[in-house]
Chain A
């Protein structure tokens, strides 16, 4: 019996050793990990093309969905086995931690070489995603740390056919017009508005757009700093936007449990006249309903005091592993990937806005409408500071509670302020 055990053990050890992998050496190969399922085919094609042109082999590996990807990146960082090129999907504070831990290469030098050639070819707002200004609150040395490969923004989309069915000739330019349009739509039996507000970030985006419109960005930042309270009348006004939307019957049923995928389905199948979604929706609508006739507008402002700014920035950004022996080759590849020609390929095949300014002329008309909004866009990644995520969570949940009629804006504001006070006391 013991002999059998011994044989089993030695077999196990042999198999164990056979399963060992070897440590990576600098070579003509670079490894890229990404999460963008839609673009995997295009990336593979471009990688092949790059190999033909330069002889460098780019291995593209896909890990989806994005939650699993984030986990893998964090785990790989802990084990110091990050690939040459990867993405950091989390908030800017996490990105700053990656940079300080030495996992992200500083690309400022490459970006600003040759009279800032690379930097100027890309949209400023796209670069802002992984750019840190001087004296930033994250404690990171100022510079550009990531390469945006596309741009996206979130705006309102309207179905031209359904609007004309309700007798609406032009899309609304103010919030009041929007409410009136919604009521006209209800009268002809059309649901006015759909959005994936089961996903808190999208709800937060919509609320933030109106917060900037009502009180201006400085006051919003001051609230994050703790200088202004959430019980301030301006914040109540922001929350009242949702009361208005609820009371005037604008929102589709079940909006607070609706994932964005389902809201895209709804709009594509013409179940609602307006939607709030990101520019990637062009790809989705095209697949589901190629005949869909729609246009793009920013969310109609409720106030004339401050401009309404939509959220727009890099859709996806790649960073280079600072500890990689193939750093320079990786940077060269990313430069190639964001050149106008490759950007045009990506834009054409995946229906996403390019990050290269030159490639803008190659995009479809509907994407062009999305692109127009980039001028009045902002993004949490560009702000001097962001709200504590524990506070944002309570804020967003509070909006959901308002929408289902469970709480009033005043109640929500008080609850949020309590959490804010607690977090500020912690020294966060």
Chain B
């Protein structure tokens, strides 16, 4: 009954809203805009297990899906102010008449300019600083994922506010202003942000705030330097708990650019320091760590060949929650087929789950390193700011003059700064390459869209053993291919394939509440995962499409207590942004 009233109220509001929008649409300077997105999403899954004794307990077919609309109202009462509110209305299939219907506030912010000098934003903020202060790194395997699977990743990323600019969605306030100079220096920019990461429970948990400051001095278009300071800290007095977490991180950046008719070169460096400690906790350790990251990129303008070199060293105790928090929380269990076989063993997270399990994904900064899956990425699980790494990356790329063909090969050679359980460091080697072709009008004789991609990555982790300690040798190979062909106008045939194989042994550190390693678990893997997709996509416009896909996922994991199974999936997705 309550839901019915809410639905009626909601539709009345929407009608009024659209009436208002229509009336303003005829005026030259619109003060209202409606923004948002709509989506219909359906999965039909079928599980087949390769087990000696037929599983009579697990339900093999699962259907799920929802329809939702994100309805945002953007109001500009004057030229210096903007208000954005967005509500999400979601209805799970089969959830009519109240059950399964949810109303959520998805976005709410106010922003504007004070005295034509200071820009501010209050409420929901997408904020990013540098790779060592505040940076939302991509989830594992995303960069190698073909478009056929990318559609499902895009849904996850949109729902969790993971943007292409690697910003974190936070709630708080941000402000910025700049001073412009006539000589020697072009501009001095000030950016500041403060967000609430955790709310107090008024008893034992303190408010936790993330605060940041960036000073950027633009000397010219060729050179700039910056200073960044962020701190994740508990606010004293917001609960009865006197133990307070503190994690200040300070970085200095510099960037130089140079170019002529034949060459274009850039180089940048970031030098970071962190300190992690608790106030009023005698048992808590105090960590100090530093990091340095240097990158140079040279491009030959005539051949379009680019050489990108990066050298970095990140201390084992460098802790930067804003830059090291992962998108995926590997502590969660899958909701689809969470337990399988007659023994109802817990099904481990798989490549398929990364693509579609919303509850794996994390929205908030974490004070210590989150768990990760070495089989998917053992080299950079926390992005460029992964602690305990030093080494280099060299990337050679080429793109055609029209930018419709891209090729790259890259090699990463790293090792640990500090050994784990032994003075001998692990060594990491990554070799990867890829080709991408994308044309809206493929050929003069066939003026339709054609896109294809191919990529491969090989990761190796090694460390010598002793008479009693086993050696570390963990290998992961990932390959992917994707194809999009416009068979009829705006109707694309899509195909995708992604394959991963992992095999070997490593140790995984067990950590206490302070992030200190107190023991190691043996980590043995030996498995293959394979995912294929074939489907059709109709593009109504640049902002709307309907896709239907058949996906086949199979896993063959020889690791102890694992099993082999495959999941066939029919997926229908309608997506519209407005």
* Chain A complexes with chain B: no
